[in-house]
Amino acid sequence: MAKMTRTWWGEKFLNVLAISMDSGRLGRGRAYSGPNRLLSFAIDGPLAKATVRGNVNPYFGVTKEPRYQVEVKLKPLSPKDWGKLIEAISQNAACLSQLLLNEMPAAIESVFARQNLHLLPQRSSDLISTCSCPDYASPCKHVAGVYYKLASLLDRDPMLLFQLRGMDPVRLQEKLADSPLGKALLEQRGETGQALEYHAHRYPEPQQQPLAVTSLKAFWQGQTALPLVEASGKAATPAVLVKKGGDYPAFWQRDNSFIGAMEALYTSVTDKNKAVL
């Protein structure tokens, strides 16, 4: 059976289901996370809304295929709590730099723990849900399906977890970037946001000389090769543009990290071509 999530935060995100519902509903809930069951799915701020296709069951008087309305969210953190968290993250260079690149810091939970808070749900009270189905249990299998869907989205967009906790990711990054350490990190990366050590052009600006074109070939190719300058070093952050796009894109079906693979590729290409860079 294919894995529902391939990241450590995705796995921990799913743990709350195991302690919130019985194994039977949990097993059936996974089947409700696919497009055959999720007729509509949308995230509105911290709230995930979905229309789920149910089953015909004459034994319970359900003779027409039902459509159930499901809403799922996490227990939000208060503005006061977010204020304390932003201040704490702003003093942690590793977490700060990764969040500015839309990455999930490995130490993020320890930052939250120091404030007696947690980002990932840890208990059943962290999961708030409603479903229009007649099942007396909460969460039901339809809620589980929507929750599984959210977990799969977190793989390539970890910032969604902050949104589900009530903090808009763009606003979070703006506040982090406005901190003294954030400003210093962004200044080091340059105005484009690319964390590269190559601040100068790889090709120097050509000297202004009178234009003397003898042929189209000479015009396009030049009469002499452009001078190369020695690069100042490796990129401070390999594959930075890929990182900004998020990990585990839809086309990437492997369990290993797409960003990790691209980082290795970028480094390998750079090392292999040192002589010409």
Question: Is residue 45 located within the same domain as residue 85?
Answer: yes
The Cα–Cα gap between 61 and 64 comes to: 9
Per-residue confidence (pLDDT) for residue 194, from 0 to 100: 45
Question: Is residue 40 located within the same domain as residue 150?
Answer: yes
Per-residue confidence (pLDDT) for residue 222, from 0 to 100: 62
Who's near 184: CB < 8 A, 6+ residues apart? none
Which pLDDT tens digit goes with each residue over 15-66? 988 888 888 888 888 889 888 899 999 999 999 999 999 888 787 677 888 9
Residue 42: phi and psi, rounded to 5, are -155, 150
Q: How many CA atoms lie within 13 A of 50 on its CB side?
A: 29
Domain boundaries, position 166: 8-182
Residue 62: phi and psi, rounded to 5, are -95, 95
Question: Is residue 132 located within the same domain as residue 213?
Answer: no
Question: Is residue 200 located within the same domain as residue 229?
Answer: yes
pLDDT < 50 positions in the chain: 1, 191-206, 229, 231
The predicted model scores a pTM of 0.68
Number of helices and strands in the chain (H, E): 12, 4
Is the bond leading into 158 cis (omega within 30 degrees of zero)?
Answer: no
In sequence order, what are the beta bridge partners of 259?
none
For the record, the structure tokens of 31 come out as 């089947």
For the record, the structure tokens of 223 come out as 């009469």
Question: Is residue 43 located within the same domain as residue 162?
Answer: yes
For residue 165, the Cα-to-chain-centroid distance in whole angstroms is: 15
Question: Is residue 46 located within the same domain as residue 174?
Answer: yes
Q: How far is CA 263 from CA 6, 150, 238, 260, in A?
A: 18, 26, 5, 5
Query: 1: buried, middle or exposed (CB in 10 Å: 19+, 13-18, 0-12)?
Result: exposed
End-of-domain residue from the set 126, 157, 182:
182
In sequence order, what are the beta bridge partners of 38?
52
Tell me what the pLDDT averaged over the chain comes to.
Answer: 80
End-of-domain residue from the set 131, 157, 182:
182
End-of-domain residue from the set 130, 154, 182:
182
Question: Is residue 93 located within the same domain as residue 164?
Answer: yes
Q: How many CA atoms lie within 13 A of 69 on its CB side?
A: 2
Question: Is residue 161 located within the same domain as residue 201?
Answer: no
Question: Is residue 28 located within the same domain as residue 156?
Answer: yes
